[in-house]
C-alpha cells in the first residue's frame, strides 16, 4: 500500500498538457535524457507544442516543483484481428496437403510441432483447421464485393477492428534529483509515473469513447533490448497479443506490443496495493 508520504508526493505532482502552461515551452528545452535521442528531438521540436495545442497528439508533462521530470504522449489508434494469422495459414496449407492425400502422404513434422505447442489432439487440430477454412471461405465473397465496388483500394478487409490508444512517447528525466528515490526505494521513476498518471488518463478516455486495447511500439535495437523486457515485465504489454496494427515509418524497426485496457487497469491497481510499494 502507498504510504501517506508517497500519496502526498504523487498528489503534489502536476500532470498537464504541454500547451496548457506557456512556461512549458521553456521547461521542455531544459528536459534531459540523452540516452534516447529521438525522444529529446520530439520534446524539443518546435512543432510538438503546436501539435499538442491542435489536438493532433496529446503530450503530457509531469512536473515536480516547476520542473518537468517526465513526459508521455497518447493518440487514438486502431488494431485488428487478422482473418487468419500467417502461422495458422502456413499450418493450414500443410494440413490441407496432408488431408488431400487421404492420409497417405508424409505428415510434415511442423504439424506435429504445432500440435505439441498448442497441446492439441488430432481431432482438435482438425477442428482448428476447419475453423480456418471457414474463415477463408467466408471472406472470399466479401473480397469480390470489394473489388466490384472499388473499395479495395482504400479499405483492407480484416476479421475484426478493435479501438485502442497508442502510447507514442514515454520518457523520464535522467538528471532527476527530487524526493522520489527516498520515498520509493528500489522503484523506477518512469514506472511509477506511468502507472499513477498515464494509466489514469487512459482510464478517463475510456469513459468518453469506446476503447478496448492500449499499445505501443518498443525500440528493439541492441542497446534497447531491455526496453522490451521492461514494458513486458513492469507494464504487462505483450509482443504477440493476437492482433495486428498498421505500422508507420516512425515505428520502423520497433516491436508492436499491446494489452487490453482492463488488464492495464488491473495491473496498475495491483502495483499500488502491493504490501510495499
- pLDDT for the residue numbered 25: 96
How sure is the predictor about 93, in pLDDT bands with cuts at 50, 70 and 90?
Answer: confident
Rounded to whole angstroms, how far apart are CA atoms 143 and 256? 27
Three-state DSSP at 147 gives helix
Three-state DSSP at 239 gives coil
Assess whether pLDDT exceeds 60 at residue 69: yes
Rounded to whole angstroms, how far apart are CA atoms 35 and 223? 10
Rounded to whole angstroms, how far apart are CA atoms 99 and 162? 35
pTM: 0.79
Do the Cβ atoms of 171 and 33 come closer than 8 Å?
yes
DSSP state of 116: H
Rounded to whole angstroms, how far apart are CA atoms 44 and 147? 45
Cα separation values, 240 from 85, 104, 193, Å: 11, 35, 25
The 10s digit of each residue's pLDDT in 121-139 is 888 888 878 887 877 776 6
Higher pLDDT, 234 or 100: 234
For 38, residues 6+ apart whose C-beta sits below 8 A from its C-beta are none
Rounded to whole angstroms, how far apart are CA atoms 194 and 167? 10
Element spanning 72, H or E: strand 67-81
Percent of the chain with pLDDT over 90: 56
Q: Looking at residues 98-127, what average pLDDT do you find?
A: 73
The closest of 84, 81, 80 to 140, measured between CA atoms, is 84
Do the Cβ atoms of 159 and 83 come closer than 8 Å?
yes
How sure is the predictor about 243, in pLDDT bands with cuts at 50, 70 and 90?
Answer: confident
Domains of the chain by start residue, with CATH:
4-80+159-271 (3.40.630.30), 84-153 (no CATH)
**Which has the minimum average pLDDT: 85-99, 135-149, 213-227, 240-254?**
135-149
Do the Cβ atoms of 218 and 231 come closer than 8 Å?
yes
Residue that is written with C-alpha cell 504487462 in the block = 236
Element spanning 59, H or E: strand 58-64
Do the Cβ atoms of 243 and 213 come closer than 8 Å?
yes
**Which has the minimum average pLDDT: 163-172, 176-185, 232-241?**
232-241
How sure is the predictor about 40, in pLDDT bands with cuts at 50, 70 and 90?
Answer: very high
35 φψ region: left (φ > 0), alpha (ψ -120 to 50), beta (else): alpha
Task: For CA atoms 265, 266, 268, 273, give the dihedral sign.
Answer: positive
Rounded to whole angstroms, how far apart are CA atoms 108 and 159? 28
Three-state DSSP at 154 gives coil
Higher pLDDT, 161 or 91: 161
How sure is the predictor about 154, in pLDDT bands with cuts at 50, 70 and 90?
Answer: low
Assess whether pLDDT exceeds 90 at residue 143: no
- pLDDT for the residue numbered 249: 63
Amino acid at each position: 500500500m502507498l504510504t501517506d508520504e508517497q500519496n502526498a508526493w504523487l498528489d503534489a505532482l502536476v500532470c498537464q498538457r504541454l500547451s496548457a502552461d506557456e512556461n512549458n515551452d521553456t521547461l521542455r528545452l531544459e528536459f534531459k535524457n540523452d540516452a534516447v535521442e529521438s525522444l529529446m528531438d520530439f520534446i524539443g521540436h518546435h512543432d510538438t507544442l503546436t501539435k499538442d495545442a491542435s489536438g493532433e497528439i496529446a503530450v503530457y508533462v509531469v512536473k515536480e516543483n516547476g520542473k518537468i521530470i517526465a513526459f508521455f504522449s497518447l493518440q487514438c489508434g486502431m488494431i485488428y484481428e487478422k482473418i487468419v494469422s500467417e502461422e495458422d495459414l502456413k499450418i493450414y496449407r500443410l494440413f490441407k496437403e496432408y488431408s488431400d492425400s487421404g492420409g497417405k502422404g508424409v505428415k510434415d513434422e511442423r504439424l506435429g510441432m504445432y500440435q505439441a505447442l498448442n497441446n492439441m489432439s488430432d481431432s482438435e487440430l482438425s477442428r482448428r483447421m476447419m475453423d480456418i477454412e471457414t474463415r477463408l471461405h467466408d471472406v472470399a465473397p466479401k473480397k469480390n464485393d470489394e473489388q466490384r465496388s472499388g473499395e479495395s483500394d482504400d479499405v483492407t478487409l480484416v476479421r475484426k477492428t478493435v479501438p485502442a490508444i497508442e502510447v507514442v512517447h514515454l520518457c523520464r528525466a535522467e538528471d532527476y534529483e527530487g524526493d522520489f528515490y527516498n520515498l520509493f526505494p528500489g522503484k523506477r521513476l518512469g514506472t511509477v509515473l506511468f502507472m499513477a498518471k498515464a494509466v489514469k488518463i487512459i482510464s478517463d478516455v475510456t469513459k468518453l469513447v469506446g476503447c478496448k486495447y492500449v499499445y505501443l511500439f518498443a525500440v528493439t535495437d541492441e542497446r534497447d533490448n531491455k526496453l522490451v523486457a521492461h514494458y513486458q515485465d513492469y507494464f504487462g504489454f505483450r509482443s504477440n497479443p493476437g492482433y495486428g496494427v498498421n505500422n508507420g515509418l516512425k515505428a520502423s524497426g520497433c516491436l508492436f506490443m499491446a494489452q487490453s485496457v482492463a488488464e492495464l487497469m488491473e495491473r496498475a491497481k495491483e502495483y499500488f496495493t502491493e504490501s510495499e510499494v
